[in-house]
Amino acid sequence: MKHSNVQGDFFSGIDLPLNVEESSSLSLKKETLRNWQQSIQNYQNKLFQYGVNHSHQFSFFEPTSTEPLRKLDPLKLTPLPLNFWRWPKSEHHGPAIYLVMDKPKNNGCHLLLYIGETYAADKRWKGEHDCKNYLIAYEEAFHKAGLSTQLSIRFWTDVPKETKSRRKLEQQLIQEWLPPFNKETRSRWVTPFTSLTH
């Protein structure tokens, strides 16, 4: 095999010419990416439509209330661009649960990609963040396959101020929604572009 599979620089902006072998690989990748999105949407759509199932039990040993979970409707939260933190004035301050979402144009359904918690909504996304690497790889893979993304971040500020309680709520939400970029659920949704993040 004379062609080596070389990964280009994310930020080079240089389009490499495609040969026939690469073109067929690209369409296969397009189908793979769509199927990956669809499997997540098939699971999450019921939560977007009907909310958290009242009978869901998170632990056999520790009873938990689903009341705080039922309060969250991700689609009612204001979508912000991922670079919102560069704005001169932030809309959100203090403790929050934040959700990174996509709305693929090919089918109009939403995807909840990541759930996190913070004590300072206006500062958490500024620095290094593991999820940012996944988002770069995600956008790059979809762009190269000719698929578009509409990424946003949303903040839910009606959350406990105490860190331990907020983290417990974050974990419950992760177990309920199973977002693919959280470390707790990555193995469930094996991403077709994970190799780009290593």
pLDDT under 50: residue ranges of the chain? 1-24, 54-63, 196-198
**pLDDT value at position 17?**
41
Query: What whole-number distance in Å separates Cα of residue 111 and Cα of residue 196?
Result: 20
Greatest CA separation for the chain: 59
**pLDDT value at position 50?**
85
**pLDDT value at position 1?**
46
Continuous segment of H or E residues that includes residue 178: none
Torsion 30-33-39-45 (CA) sign: negative
Contacts of 134 (CB under 8 A, 6+ apart): 113, 114, 181, 191, 197
Per-residue model confidence as pLDDT tens digits over 110-154: 999 999 998 887 666 666 677 788 888 898 999 898 888 999 999
Q: Would you give the distance in Å from CA 18 to the centre of its chain?
A: 30
**Cβ atoms of residues 23 and 3 within 8 Å:** no
Query: What whole-number distance in Å separates Cα of residue 135 and Cα of residue 114?
Result: 10
**pLDDT value at position 109?**
86
**b/e string for 97-125 if b means 16 or more Cβ within 10 A?**
bbbbbbbbeeeebbbbbbbbbbeebbebb
Query: What whole-number distance in Å separates Cα of residue 21 and Cα of residue 34?
Result: 20
What letter represents residue 60's amino acid? F
